[in-house]
């Protein structure tokens, strides 16, 4: 993968092909670090190799504490592994529950087999097959980013909080 350290969200044009968990991790981190308002993630299982690093969590904390309208919404199709093994993002969502929300897609979208991340409706990572790491990242593709964000929001509105991820207060 190209060196994306010099890519700017909302400014750097072009698509970069990604093909490994490391490529996905670096792309997700770079986008999250530059996001100013909103991050939407549609994922099969919130891949630990991509989303469970301390650097990624720190980027999310900066995002949600940046402004009162900033938010992170995550649609996760299968939370089994993160419930069993734990995940930094889930713990963070407990601490910052008004800013970071996780939901299960409704039944209508449970078999949707793509995964994507949309940053500020301009940058994105898009994998046509959710269980694979091959995909593309773009730091300035507002048309596709808005289309994915619109689809995400439609699914979000029909979805419910994941009962497996509810925090029990004893």
Is the per-residue pLDDT at 168 higher than 50? Answer: no
CATH topology of domain 15-121+133-159: Endonuclease; Chain A (3.30.870)
* Residue 7 vs residues 13, 139, 143: alpha-carbon distances, Å: 9, 7, 18
Read off the pLDDT of residues 1-15 as tens digits, 9 standing for 90 and up. Answer: 678 888 999 999 999
Cα-Cα-Cα-Cα dihedral sign, residues 47, 48, 52, 56: negative
Read off the pLDDT of residues 130-153 as tens digits, 9 standing for 90 and up. Answer: 999 999 999 999 999 999 999 999
Judge if pTM exceeds 0.85. yes
Read off the pLDDT of residues 108-119 as tens digits, 9 standing for 90 and up. Answer: 998 899 999 999
């Amino acid at each position: 993968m190209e060196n994306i350290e010099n890519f700017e969200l909302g400014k750097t044009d072009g698509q970069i092909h990604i093909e490994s968990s490391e490529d996905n991790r670096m792309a997700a981190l770079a986008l999250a670090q530059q996001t100013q308002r909103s991050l939407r993630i549609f994922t099969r299982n919130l891949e630990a190799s991509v989303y469970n690093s301390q650097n990624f969590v720190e980027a999310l904390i900066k995002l949600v504490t940046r402004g009162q309208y900033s938010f992170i919404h995550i649609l996760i199709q299968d939370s089994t592994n993160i419930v069993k093994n734990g995940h930094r993002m889930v713990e963070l969502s407990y601490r910052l529950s008004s800013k970071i929300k996780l939901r299960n897609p409704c039944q209508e979208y449970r078999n949707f087999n793509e995964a994507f991340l949309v940053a500020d409706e301009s940058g994105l990572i898009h994998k046509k097959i959710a269980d694979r790491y091959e995909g593309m990242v773009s730091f300035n593709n507002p048309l596709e980013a808005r289309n994915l964000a619109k689809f995400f929001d439609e699914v979000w509105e029909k979805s419910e909080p994941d009962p497996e991820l509810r925090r029990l207060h004893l």
